[in-house]
């Protein structure tokens, strides 16, 4: 019988790419998610019955154990950018990660890959980064041979970074940024998946790997690249952190006053704390080179999915070509 991998959060942005690669390698893939009926898109990644969504909540021991039962390898892709309801940073990214590692060890799982983030720091001012660091510590406590991946901001068709700013280019002549000088090292989602596969199959050594793409760019430079791809011209204004703090407080207050009915998807106070620090691979950190992977540059991929934000969408290329025709 083929080997089995359980991917917690396997229908999400990163998890679906890992699931697809593992299915192509002949593994059975169990996709553990809170809403299996919303994860049916993963089933065609393999042959009939090869990829199956199952019910799981990482805050619950019993469902985590049921999803891990019989698995040869486990991957934890569960993470949140915003706190909503019971899904708090600590509950999901600390306690949830530790629960998965503990139960995986108890179930005799051979390989564990945990997706964390660059900047994970128990002493950070950010609750997000604190929870990431505490999750890593919990994973290593119960599963010392785990592979921990710390990607910078991840890009790809379904990303929440380049898509978000590309969407903003459609409204008004000015783009106001907070933390415009903060540096990022965007990494392609499928490159992160390739790194995870190396850990799942045991072809990579255990340990912590920081994953960044070939280019380091500031937030302002990232937006300039987006504008180039979407064929728009906008004035970029870098707002001081003091103004960003007022904005974040106001948006957070609105979410609180609405009882969570209005979600702060613009800028939170915790995100503002993260924007004060660069998000790049640290000096001396193990990364793609240690895994034998050459990462793909953002500029090579962005036109494949940001074209829809151009003034005429997919037809801009046709219009530009038509202008070159001689009458």
Concatenated DSSP letters for 84-153?
Answer: BTTB-HIIIIIIIHHHHHHHHHHTT-SEEEEE--TT--TT-S-HHHHHHHHHHHHHHHH-TT-EEEEESS
> Is residue 37 in some structural domain?
yes
User: DSSP letters along 205-219, please?
Assistant: -SEEEEE--S--EEH
Q: Rounded CA gap, 188 and 157, in Å? A: 10
> Is residue 43 in some structural domain?
yes
Give the Cβ contact number of residue 300 at 10 Å: 11
Is residue 210 scored above 80 in pLDDT?
Answer: yes
> Is residue 76 in some structural domain?
yes
> Is residue 236 in some structural domain?
no
CATH number at residue 55: 3.40.50.720
What crossing angle do the helices spanning 189-200 and 15-24 adopt, rounded to 10°?
A: 50
The residue range of the domain holding 13 is: 4-155+186-212+278-295
Tell me what pLDDT residue 327 has.
52
> Is residue 73 in some structural domain?
yes
Output phi, psi for 118, to 5 deg.
-60, 135
Q: Which of 124, 79, 126, 83 is nearest to 252 (CA)?
A: 83
Residue 145 near residue 205, CB atoms below 8 Å = no
Alpha helices in the chain (DSSP H): 15-24, 61-68, 89, 97-106, 127-142, 162-168, 189-200, 219-230, 241-257, 269-275, 288-291, 298-301, 303-306, 316-323
> Is residue 262 in some structural domain?
no
Tell me what pLDDT residue 85 has.
84
Is residue 323 scored above 70 in pLDDT?
Answer: no
Q: Rounded CA gap, 107 and 313, in Å? A: 50
Predicted confidence band of residue 254 (pLDDT cuts 50, 70, 90): very high
Tell me what pLDDT residue 8 has.
98
Residue 30 near residue 52, CB atoms below 8 Å = yes
Report how many domains make up the chain: 1
Is residue 291 scored above 70 in pLDDT?
Answer: yes
> Is residue 204 in some structural domain?
yes
> Is residue 198 in some structural domain?
yes
Instruction: Please tell me the least confidently modeled range out of 75-79, 170-174, 262-266.
Output: 262-266
């Amino acid at each position: 019988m083929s080997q089995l991998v359980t991917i917690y959060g396997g229908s999400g942005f990163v998890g679906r790419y890992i699931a697809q690669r593992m299915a192509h390698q002949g593994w059975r893939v169990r996709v553990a998610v809170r809403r299996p009926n919303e994860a049916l898109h993963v089933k065609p990644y393999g042959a009939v019955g090869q990829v199956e969504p199952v019910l799981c909540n990482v805050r619950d021991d019993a469902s985590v154990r049921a999803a891990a039962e019989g698995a040869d390898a486990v991957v934890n892709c569960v993470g949140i950018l915003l706190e909503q309801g019971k899904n708090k940073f600590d509950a999901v990214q600390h306690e949830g990660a530790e629960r998965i590692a503990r139960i995986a060890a108890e179930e005799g799982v051979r390989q564990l890959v945990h997706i964390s983030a660059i900047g994970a720091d128990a002493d950070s001012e950010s609750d997000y980064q604190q929870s990431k660091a505490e999750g890593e510590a919990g994973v290593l406590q119960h599963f010392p041979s785990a592979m921990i991946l710390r990607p910078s901001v991840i890009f790809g068709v379904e990303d929440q970074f380049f898509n978000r700013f590309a969407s903003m280019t459609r409204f008004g002549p000015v783009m106001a940024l907070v933390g415009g000088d903060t540096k990022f090292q965007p990494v392609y989602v499928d490159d992160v998946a390739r790194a995870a596969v190396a850990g799942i199959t045991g072809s990579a050594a255990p340990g912590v790997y920081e994953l960044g793409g070939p280019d380091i760019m500031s937030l302002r430079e990232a937006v300039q690249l987006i504008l180039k791809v979407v064929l728009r011209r906008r004035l970029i204004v870098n707002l001081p952190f003091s103004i960003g703090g007022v904005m974040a407080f106001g948006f957070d207050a609105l979410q609180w006053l609405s009882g969570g009915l209005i979600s702060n998807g613009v800028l939170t106070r915790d995100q503002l704390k993260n924007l004060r620090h660069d998000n790049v691979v640290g000096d001396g950190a193990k990364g793609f080179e240690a895994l034998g992977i050459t990462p793909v540059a953002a500029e090579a991929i962005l036109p494949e999915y940001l074209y829809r934000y151009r003034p005429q969408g997919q037809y801009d290329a046709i219009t530009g070509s038509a202008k070159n025709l001689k009458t």
